[in-house]
Amino acid sequence: MKTSMFVIFFSVVLLIYSLLNYLVFIRGLQAIPLENPYRTGYKWAFFILSSSYIVARVLERIWISPVSDVFTWVGSFWLAAMIYFLLFALLFDIIRLIHYFVPIYPGFITANYASVKMILLAAAILIVAVTVIAGYINAISPRIKRLDLTVNKQAGVMKKLHVVMVSDIHMGTVIGPRRIAAMVKRINALSPDLILIAGDAVDEDLAPVIRQNLGANLGNLRAPLGVYGITGNHEYIGGAEAAVAYLREYGVTILRDSIVLVNNSFYIAGREDRDKERFTGRKRKSVADLLEGANKSLPIILLDHQPFNLADAEKAGADLQLSGHTHHGQMWPASYITNAIYEVSKGYLKKGNTHFYVSSGYGSWGPPVRVGTRSEIVDIWLSFK
């Protein structure tokens, strides 16, 4: 990304982040009486928590260390908490607005309004804390999603193909050695023929990945037909060339608008991420151009990180498209947004003769928290006819 674009992008994000935090801060402060000694502690705690993520992003660029790790973890959890505190603030504002026009508060609330506000603040803090903790436990407990599909093509001498697919690992400070080692162990335990990584293996900055030697864990993946991957938008955010070189160093064959014939039986086609043009000014291949030279009588598995324009894969003759990117919103209620944006935000769809599966992803972006969604590893059994 050009420096000017980065400055503009960072400035806009910082402004929005600051405004949202200010709204949450003011609503919380209004609930604490002026004479209450907790007001000072509240101000300091809020300042430290809300600034941690910004401090972490800066430190990771100039001084990556255990100190930056602490700020990253604190700031990441605060992002999740901030979202739910914001929802509480909006909910209370709506109730107050209704009460302004149509009085609905019972007498005991109006008579003890200051105490009720403190109780509501304490309740909101407790509910948000429980939600974030439960969301973290959920996020580090991925499920194995089994998918049985039939492709109406012959695949050489192969009658079946066992594929394990994972997307949106987001290796970095938060998704570190333990999470990656656990992922590799679970994937290898499934004994797949083939392993596919559908983009965003790296969470932007490569420095935490290198420092923790996460590639060594990834290099332990085992599949007789190989480990293949593609770029995602986060590879491009952090620098695609360095990320691709790193992944290839540890045994992942990255397909960049390229197609490969495996075992003389089926094709794997990998698209560059759609954000390639935004970051490099160069367009990626269309699905039709990518599959132009393929023998369409053989099965074709297409990897495309962001699940836009699914009809293109169907028209081009792909038999199975695997995608990720959406996280299915990651934290409720964001899934309503991803459902509105994507034809499939999570799960399976069939269009014509083409199977589609969009994974909610293994890792997480920002908060290591999932509410209303699940982390997953996708266990795919393909049968050929």
d(CA 254, CA 247): 8
Choose one of 109, 138, 167: the last residue of a domain: 138
Choose one of 106, 138, 170: the last residue of a domain: 138
* pLDDT tens, position by position, 319-338: 999 999 999 999 999 999 99
Query: Long-range pairs for 110-114 at CB < 8 Å and ≥24 separation?
Result: 114/33
What does the buried/exposed string (b/e) look like for 72-105 if buried means 16 or more CB atoms within 10 Å of the residue's CB? bbbbbbbbbbbbbbeebbeebeeeeeeeeeeeee
Residue 62 sits in the same domain as residue 178: no
Residue 154 sits in the same domain as residue 62: no
Domain count, the chain: 2
d(CA 42, CA 29): 8
Lowest mean pLDDT among 255-259, 279-283, 318-322: 279-283
Neighbours of 225 (CB within 10 A): 18
* pTM passes above 0.85: yes
Q: What pLDDT is attached to residue 3?
A: 60
Residue 134 sits in the same domain as residue 165: no
Residue 166 sits in the same domain as residue 21: no
d(CA 247, CA 259): 18
Residue 30 belongs to what domain range? Answer: 3-138
* pLDDT tens, position by position, 215-237: 999 999 999 999 999 999 999 99
DSSP count for the chain of H helices, then E strands: 14, 12
Q: What is the mean pLDDT of residues 44-71?
A: 91
d(CA 43, CA 59): 23
